[in-house]
Amino acid sequence: MRKSIRFIPNLFAVLHNPSSVAYNFYKDSILIFYNQLPKKIGAEEEILPKTATRQKTTTKTNKSSSNGNDKTVKQKSDEIITDKVNPKVSNSEHKQRRKSQKDSIKNVEPDTLREMLYQMVLGRIFEQKCAEVYRIGKIGGFCHLYIGQEAVAIGAMMALREDDLVITAYRDHVQAMVKGISPEAVMAELYGRSGGIVGGKGGSMHMFSNEHNFYGGHGIVGGQIGVGTGMAYATKYKGTDQVTLCFFGEAAVNQGMFHESLNMAQLWKLPCIYICENNKYGMGTSQARAMSISSVAEKACAYGIASEFVDGMDVLAVREATERAIKRAREESLPTLLEIRCYRFMGHSMSDPGKYRSTDEIKQYQERDPIFLFKESLLEAKIISAKDYEEIETRAKEAVEKAVKFADESPLPDESELFTDVYAA
């Protein structure tokens, strides 16, 4: 009986995504195991021009790619969409963001900057640990890691008020922690243990906490966009000034739910911020192969929604763009679509054979690691010293070790829990 409870998260995972279940049990190796914190990049990239981020309330073709793509945004019939990385484009983008980040630092409190760096490092080390314990069978079921995308969650969510609402897809561990759920409760959930944030019944894809205004953790691609829109409607109906952040991947944009939700949000003037984390891939399919118009921000014009294209390797650019959207939502009760371009360094999930992209492509993005960039900027601005950074890393490692110990020691859910929280007949 106890064993069957242990596998409830796996069962949920199977129901959510039966096609990949064959890969799902720990033995598979992942193509890229990014087990190191960022290393220093080449000296030739240390020159600092301007940001790739720009604000838009109406939409036009984006010239800048912000994910190193060669001619990313193309709509005219004679132009080609490509997912080929152009080192020249990505180098120049990187230089721009270094300059922009240096300028942006001046507008944020030093304590907030240090906390942002800590949260990014914590997220990275937590996810590295997840990969490690997954491979020895401690975590079962699906497990989608966030390594490489930290600037998005931290930049956006740390601009929020505590009572604001957040909802996301299945790549949800870091978002859950930034919203205030403890690393222990997230790790125990991954382990399927009773100390998990939903008692070990949800697993990796279903972090949830009413107390923290964190509403999942959703396995159905695009499903949370409708729920997030409803959350924003609820806050408006109740007359609060809370805003909702609704995260989703670029592959979800091809779902009907995205279009129906954006239409309704603008029509009903809902305080919802739609954050598309464009990491270029939906499982093994590149965006270039799946989307006729590759600029997601561009699509907002179909519904008259304000939109912005944001550099997701730059945590401060993400923060600034989100702050603008929050102001619009809180003060004018209006929605915004942010397309935040980023890159995932790991496979889609722990079972990804990774045959759809080259190690060279991955390396190019790893060299522009958002954590390394932010760390360097803070060092240069003397917001932190090298010793401070060591302390941040040590504190994050200790928090993760504590989480693992807690998860290891947390008991399996009690047999009596088997039929609680079950809503389907």
Ligand X SMILES: Cc1ncc(C[n+]2csc(CCOP(=O)(O)OP(=O)(O)O)c2C)c(N)n1
3-class SS of residue 314:
coil
**Out of 21, 48, 283, 418, the residue judged to bind ligand X by CB under 6 A:** 283
| Nearest C-alpha neighbor of 257 from the set 289, 230, 297 | 230
What element of type H or E holds 55? strand 54-56
Q: Name the DSSP class of 79.
A: S
Please state the closest distance from residue 81 (CB atom) to ligand X, in A: 16
Using alpha carbons, list the distances in angstroms from residue 34 to 194, 226, 362: 30, 34, 10
For residues 272 and 28, give the distance between their C-alpha atoms in angstroms, rounded to a whole number: 39
- C-beta of 195 vs 370, nearer to Mg ion: 370
Among 90, 279, 322, 349, binds Mg ion (CB under 5 A): 279
Member of 249, 312, 347, 413 binding Mg ion (CB under 5 A):
249
Select from 212, 274, 210 the least CA-distant residue to 244.
274
Q: Which does 17 bind (CB under 5 to 8 A by kind): ligand X, Mg ion, none?
A: ligand X
Our finding on whether 95 is near ligand X (CB under 6 A) is: no
Under a CB-based contact definition with an 8 Å cutoff, are residues 66 and 93 in contact? yes
> Does 171 interact with ligand X (rule: CB under 6 A)?
yes
Contacts for 80 with CB less than 8 Å, ≥ 6 apart: 71, 74
143 forms bridges with which residues in the sheet?
none
14-33 binders of ligand X (CB under 6 A): 16-17
* Beta bridge partners of residue 275, listed in sequence order: 247, 338
Q: Which is nearer to ligand X, 173 or 193 (CB)?
A: 173
Burial class of residue 258, CB neighbours in 10 A (0-12, 13-18, 19+): buried
Task: Please identify, among the stretches 24-32, 71-79, 274-282, 387-395, the one whose residues bind ligand X according to the rule CB under 6 A.
Answer: 274-282
Q: Does residue 348 bind ligand X (CB under 6 A)?
A: yes
Range in contact with Mg ion (rule: CB under 5 A) among 52-60, 174-182, 226-234, 247-255: 247-255
- Closest CB 140 distance from ligand X, rounded Å: 18
Using CB under 6 A, which of 164, 172, 250, 320 touches ligand X?
A: 250
Cα–Cα dist 282/22, whole Å: 19
Q: Residue 100: CA atoms inside 13 Å, Cβ hemisphere, count? A: 22
Chain positions 281 to 300 lying near Mg ion, rule: CB under 5 A, are 282
Q: Smaller CB distance to ligand X: residue 320 or 339?
A: 339
Candidates 217, 249, 312, 347; binder of ligand X (CB under 6 A) is 249
- Closest to Mg ion by CB, 140 vs 216, is 216
Strand partners, 247: 275
251 is a contact residue toward ligand X (CB under 6 A): yes
Positions touching Mg ion (CB under 5 A) are 249-250, 279, 282
Positions touching ligand X (CB under 6 A) are 16-17, 171, 219-221, 249-252, 279, 281-283, 348
